[in-house]
């Protein structure tokens, strides 16, 4: 049988679609496969890719099974894939974001404070100081009033705080994005920080748990704690905690403590105007404190009343009437800053008597309020009148009773400008005021006020002491040498008695500062404080009994229990009464006719002038039977004054203070003094004929007290 040759199939025209061959026979599975191929071809053509389906052969587009266009289906497919991709990456980003947020929260939360101690306020114990009569002077530390509930305070106090600090407090969950955006916009417009976006809950978290550091860590922790507070407490509880803990200036924490401090009443009873003042303190407690500026407090209260009107809590007429009221402060709250020099000095000694206790204390001091005010006024007046012309910028004054109880202490011209206490912190050269110890050592070692010395050129090694003006008087008594503040005689006395005995006399009278054993010791080359030098003169004023300067008479707890009370025990006699009488003789001559005659009170008084080299320090320390007072003048930079000696401005300030201080007080005599003979060279005919003794007419307070400490 011949083999049959295959016939060649005719090729289709170019571009014509190949028609499927219709089979008359086949199975159902074959039909399904065919349909699958067709669908695959159509799908492949729609994608434009290469596949198992037939290729395009022309511009004609194959029709799909349902007759729809391929482009629309492609767009739906793309959108579907985009949506699924976006959803997938969103989920992934959300997961990683949650992980990152958890890490950040853990990082800032690991050192959060113990939130279980919310009910235990962390506070410093307060110390209230009173004067000798029990009137309050000032309070240091933290002051808390009664713990109040929300129902205890007037509604307008709550409204004033909410309107001022957090108008949406009762609606947010601890964080107010609206307030934050509003604060940011206001600050950007103003070009500086004018508003804050913190809620009351955030402020409570900061006040109770955190430090006021302006750091990102503190802000994040503040927000975390705010969320915790909102989750664990009601709004009423949060607000109650806030008003009992918030700082309102002058050491007060909570609205009740502030109301008692400023208005002398509980926060339960404050008026609308007083409530506005308290709410106004929240922005800047120190700036708007009524104790600092009544006007600033009243102006701020008007702003608060305006915000209450804007919030719908007040009608304008009511706010206007409240704003017109005059602020009335509690009695005794307005005091001079200068008294702070005294209270700072007294406060440093509280721990030594009562220990460091975490309880509120009331300390009764020895301060006489009248003398304190008088000292402040006279010191400022003297500097205002003469300070600029004489180039003296600072002064200090200490006044105490002869037993050492400090009645007044002013450590500088203005406490608000400088808190440096020149009365007990400054160490300055006392000049001739130190000669008290030189002459005391002489009296204790057999010398008398009438013993003669030669005022002339003197050399000790390479050191030469000189008198003011370089002049010498020749033979003089020790009385005249002390009265005229003659340097050469003081050095001779010190060297004759022995510097060791001079230093011993100073120690017995209470000088604790270091003293150099140099010939210039007699001229006050070693530095001392005004408090210790004044107390040393007090030993002579009280007849030779030891003096310890003190400013505290009693310390008790706020509940009344006495922790310390000063009692007058047996006092040690540190100077022989005969030596006291002889030193009184010398120092009375200084005030009567010598270098300190500008301090004459026309009543028994004694004292000594002192001027350091180049007029850097000027002193006058003196006493009567009732008061011992010391005055220092100079400049903090140790620059020279314009010829200010101890016998000039300091002596006049001493007199200006002592005369009104002793007004109405009966004069006490000093220790009896020996008979005063006429010193050498004073008994000429003119003096004998004059009805006024020569010692009442001689000496110059301006030119006889300059000290020369060359070679020290």
The DSSP code sequence of 228-240 is: HHHHHS-HHHHHH
Q: What is the pLDDT of residue 26?
A: 41
Can you read off the two tokens belonging to residue 678?
A: 């006429």
Phi and psi at 407, nearest 5°, equal -95, -30
> ∠ at Cα 261 (255, 263), nearest 5°?
85
- pLDDT tens per residue, range 118-167: 555 556 678 889 999 999 888 887 777 888 888 899 999 999 999 988 88
> ∠ at Cα 332 (328, 338), nearest 5°?
120
Topology, domain 145-323: Penicillin binding protein transpeptidase fold (1.10.3810)
443 vs 194, more confident: 443
- pLDDT tens per residue, range 25-57: 444 443 443 344 344 434 443 444 444 444 444
Residue 450 scores a pLDDT above 90: yes
Topology, domain 376-556+570-696: Beta-lactamase (3.40.710)
Sign of CA dihedral 557, 562, 563, 567: positive
- pLDDT tens per residue, range 556-595: 998 889 999 998 766 789 999 999 999 999 999 999 999 9
Query: Minimal CA–CA distance to 623: which of 591, 664, 665, 577?
Result: 591
Q: What percent of the chain has pLDDT over 70?
A: 72
Helix (H) or strand (E) holding 120: none
What's this model's pTM, rounded to 2 decimal places? 0.66
Question: Which of helix, strand or coil describes residue 89?
Answer: helix
8 vs 560, more confident: 560
CA distance 300 to 303: 5
Q: Residue by residue, what is the 3-state secondary structure of 257-309?
A: HHHHHHHCCCHHHCCHHHHHHHHHHCCCCCCCCCCCCHHHHHHHHHHHHHHHH
Query: Minimal CA–CA distance to 434: which of 395, 491, 497?
Result: 491
Mean pLDDT of 357-378: 92
Q: What is the pLDDT of residue 197?
A: 60
Mean pLDDT of 311-321: 93
Which range among 27-41, 77-91, 202-216 shows the weakest confidence by mean pLDDT?
27-41
CA distance 650 to 363: 32
Can you read off the two tokens belonging to residue 407?
A: 């009645």
Mean pLDDT of 157-178: 80
- pLDDT category at 647 given cuts 50, 70, 90 is very high
- pLDDT tens per residue, range 606-644: 999 999 999 999 999 999 999 999 999 999 999 999 999
- pLDDT category at 437 given cuts 50, 70, 90 is very high
The Cα-based distances of 38 to 26, 35, 45, 53, 54 in angstroms read: 17, 5, 10, 8, 9
Residue 626: half-sphere exposure toward Cβ, Cα within 13 Å: 15
Residue 372 scores a pLDDT above 70: yes
Q: What is the pLDDT of residue 537?
A: 98
DSSP state of 14: T
Q: What is the pLDDT of residue 322?
A: 93
**Where, residue-wise, is CATH 3.40.710.10 in the chain?**
376-556+570-696
Contact between 193 and 206 (Cβ < 8 Å)? no
- pLDDT category at 337 given cuts 50, 70, 90 is low
**How high is the mean pLDDT of the chain?**
80
Residues that are catalytic: 165, 432
- pLDDT tens per residue, range 546-562: 999 999 999 999 888 99
Q: What is the pLDDT of residue 46?
A: 42
- pLDDT category at 342 given cuts 50, 70, 90 is very high
**Where, residue-wise, is CATH 1.10.3810.10 in the chain?**
145-323
- pLDDT category at 183 given cuts 50, 70, 90 is low
The neighbour count for residue 430, using CB atoms within 10 Å, is: 33
Residue 241 scores a pLDDT above 90: no
């Amino acid at each position: 049988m011949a083999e049959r040759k295959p016939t060649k199939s005719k090729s289709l025209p170019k571009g014509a679609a190949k028609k499927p061959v219709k089979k008359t026979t086949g199975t159902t599975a074959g039909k399904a496969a065919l349909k699958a191929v067709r669908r695959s071809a159509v799908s492949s053509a729609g994608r434009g890719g290469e596949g198992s389906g037939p290729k395009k052969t022309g511009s004609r587009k194959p029709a799909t099974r349902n007759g729809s266009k391929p482009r629309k289906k492609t767009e739906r497919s793309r959108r579907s894939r985009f949506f699924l991709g976006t959803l997938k990456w969103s989920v992934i980003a959300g997961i990683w974001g949650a992980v990152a947020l958890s890490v950040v929260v853990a990082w800032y939360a690991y050192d959060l404070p113990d939130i279980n101690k919310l009910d235990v306020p962390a506070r410093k114990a307060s110390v209230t100081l009173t004067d000798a009569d029990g009137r309050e002077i000032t309070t240091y530390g933290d002051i808390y009033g009664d713990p109040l509930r929300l129902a205890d305070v007037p509604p307008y106090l709550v409204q004033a705080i909410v309107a001022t600090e957090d108008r949406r407090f009762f609606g947010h969950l601890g964080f107010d994005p609206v307030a934050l955006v509003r604060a940011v916009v206001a600050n950007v417009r103003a070009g500086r920080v004018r508003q804050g976006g913190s809620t009351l809950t955030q402020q409570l978290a900061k006040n109770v748990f955190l430090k006021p550091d302006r750091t990102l860590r503190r802000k994040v922790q503040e927000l975390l704690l705010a969320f915790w507070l909102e989750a664990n407490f009601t709004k009423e509880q949060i607000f109650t905690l806030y008003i009992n803990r918030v700082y309102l200036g002058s050491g007060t924490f909570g609205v009740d403590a502030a109301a008692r401090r400023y208005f002398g009443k509980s926060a339960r009873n404050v008026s609308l105007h007083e409530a506005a003042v308290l709410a106004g303190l929240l922005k800047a407690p120190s700036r708007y404190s009524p104790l600092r500026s009544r006007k600033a407090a009243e102006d701020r209260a008007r702003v608060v009343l305006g915000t209450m009107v804007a919030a719908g809590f007040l009608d304008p007429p009511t706010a206007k009437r409240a704003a017109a009221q005059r602020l009335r402060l509690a009695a005794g709250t307005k005091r001079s800053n200068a008294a702070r020099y005294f209270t700072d000095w007294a406060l440093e000694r509280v721990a030594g008597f009562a220990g460091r206790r975490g309880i509120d204390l009331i300390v009764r001091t020895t301060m006489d309020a009248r003398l304190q005010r008088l000292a402040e006024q006279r010191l400022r007046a003297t500097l205002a009148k003469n300070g600029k012309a004489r180039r003296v910028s600072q002064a200090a004054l200490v006044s105490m009773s002869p037993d050492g109880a400090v009645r007044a202490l002013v450590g500088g011209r203005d406490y608000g400008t400088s808190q440096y206490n020149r009365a007990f912190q400054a160490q300055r050269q006392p000049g001739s005021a130190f000669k008290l110890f030189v002459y005391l050592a002489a009296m204790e070692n057999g010398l008398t006020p009438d013993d003669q010395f030669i005022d002339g050129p003197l050399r000790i090694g390479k050191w030469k002491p000189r008198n003011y003006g370089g002049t010498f008087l020749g033979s003089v008594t020790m009385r005249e040498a002390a009265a005229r503040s003659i340097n050469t005689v003081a050095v001779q006395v010190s060297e004759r008695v022995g510097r060791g005995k001079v230093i011993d006399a100073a120690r017995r009278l209470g000088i604790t500062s270091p003293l150099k054993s140099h010939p210039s010791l007699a001229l006050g080359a070693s530095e001392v404080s005004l408090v210790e030098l004044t107390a040393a003169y007090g030993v002579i004023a009280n007849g030779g009994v030891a003096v310890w300067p003190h400013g505290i008479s009693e310390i008790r707890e706020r509940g009344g229990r006495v922790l310390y009370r000063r009692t007058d025990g047996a006092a040690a006699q540190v100077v022989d009464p005969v030596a006291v009488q002889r030193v009184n003789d010398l120092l009375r001559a200084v005030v009567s006719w010598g270098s300190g005659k500008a301090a004459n009170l026309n009543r028994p008084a004694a004292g000594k002038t002192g001027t350091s080299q180049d007029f850097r320090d000027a002193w006058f320390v003196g006493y009567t039977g009732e008061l011992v007072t010391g005055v220092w003048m100079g400049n903090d930079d140790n620059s020279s004054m314009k010829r200010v000696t101890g016998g000039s401005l300091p002596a006049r300030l001493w007199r200006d203070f002592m005369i009104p201080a002793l007004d109405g007080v009966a004069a006490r005599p000093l220790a009896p003094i020996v008979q005063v003979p006429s010193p050498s060279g004073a008994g000429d005919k003119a003096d004998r004929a004059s009805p006024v003794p020569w010692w009442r007419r001689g000496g110059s307070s301006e030119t006889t007290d300059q000290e020369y400490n060359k070679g020290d």
